[in-house]
């Protein structure tokens, strides 16, 4: 049985003291029957970790470099994240692709490096609005998945989560319809079956992300191929995040 995972991507929000407060509020959410992950900014990790101690909430980061150390100003290594208490890392978020020149090739390098160190990786894929309008959504996802997961073993796939995040739905208030989200998540599962095998596909958690909120989460999470959510804005509001966790726990 694959895991349902509700992960909050805090992006560049919250100072360390604010992060400690938000993480403590999330740690108090009761009744989660799914995996709950928070991904604060790097400087907040230690504070968030302390705040979630003793709860089931897991810690993740928003990026990780593929080299162990060295002259990579502004970057962070997998070892650093692990020592800060991270179990997860988000790789290839569309904002990294859009603003920081992340490519499918660097997504692959970062993913392999993080997996080699024992992190679980949330690999983000998704089409832009223009790509959807041009009818090439599946081609784009196919390329992102093939290149992003290139040379990964079936065993490594046990620590990979895919987040399908249509770029046009992130932070815009526009959500993919349940059917649109399900269609692409199903396509991704089929592709994983082709690239690895049916068992790997069946076991891989595929999240939806893109303006998921307290109002639309239940219907999205009830779709058969949507196994969780990667949540931006609503992850900063403990009550809304609690509603999403409850919906994730119901499936
Ligand atoms: C995200 O950042 O991954 C995301 C889905 O953001 P939002 O929920 O705000 O659209």
Query: Tens of pLDDT along 180-214?
Result: 999 999 999 999 999 999 999 999 999 999 999 99
The pTM (predicted TM-score) of the whole model is 0.98
Q: Which two tokens stand for residue 120?
A: 């679980």
pLDDT, residue 174, reads 87
Residue 127 beta carbon below 6 angstroms from any ligand 1 atom = no
Q: Which residue segment(s) compose the domain that 243 sits in?
A: 5-249
Which positions ≥6 away from 15 have C-beta within 8 Å? 44
In the chain, the percentage of residues whose pLDDT exceeds 90 is: 97
Residue 209 beta carbon below 6 angstroms from any ligand 1 atom = yes
CB-based contact 236:3 (threshold 8 Å): no
Q: What is the three-class DSSP state of 249?
A: helix
CATH number at residue 168: 3.20.20.70
| Residue owning the nearest CA to atom 2 of ligand 1 | 232
Q: Is the pLDDT of residue 175 over 90?
A: no
Q: How large is the angle between the packed helices 137-148 and 104-116, nearest 10 degrees?
A: 40
Q: How many other C-beta atoms can be found within 10 angstroms of the C-beta atom of residue 116? A: 12
Annotated catalytic residues are 93, 165
Residue 166 beta carbon below 6 angstroms from any ligand 1 atom = no
Q: What is the count of structural domains for the chain?
A: 1
Q: Is the pLDDT of residue 171 over 90?
A: no
């Amino acid at each position: 049985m694959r895991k349902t995972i509700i992960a909050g991507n805090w992006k560049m929000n919250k100072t360390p003291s604010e992060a400690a407060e938000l993480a403590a509020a999330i740690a108090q959410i009761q009744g989660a029957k799914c995996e709950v992950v928070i991904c604060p900014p790097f400087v907040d990790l230690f504070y968030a970790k302390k705040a979630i101690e003793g709860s089931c909430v897991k810690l993740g980061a928003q990026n990780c470099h593929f080299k162990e150390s060295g002259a990579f100003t502004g970057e962070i290594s997998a070892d650093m994240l692990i020592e800060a208490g991270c179990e997860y890392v988000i790789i290839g978020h569309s904002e990294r692709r859009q603003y920081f020149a992340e490519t499918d090739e660097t997504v692959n390098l970062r993913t392999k490096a993080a997996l080699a160190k024992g992190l679980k990786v949330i690999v983000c894929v998704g089409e832009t609005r223009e790509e959807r309008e041009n009818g090439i959504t599946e081609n784009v996802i196919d390329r992102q998945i093939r290149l992003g997961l290139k040379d990964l073993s079936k065993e490594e796939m046990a620590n990979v989560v895919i987040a399908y995040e249509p770029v046009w739905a992130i932070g815009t208030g526009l959500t993919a319809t349940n059917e649109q989200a399900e269609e692409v998540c199903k396509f991704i599962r089929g592709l994983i079956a082709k690239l690895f095998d049916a068992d790997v596909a069946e076991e891989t958690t595929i999240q939806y992300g893109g303006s998921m909120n307290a109002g639309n989460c239940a219907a999205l999470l009830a779709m058969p191929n949507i196994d969780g959510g990667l949540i931006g804005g609503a992850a900063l509001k403990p009550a809304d995040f609690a509603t999403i966790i409850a919906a994730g726990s119901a499936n």
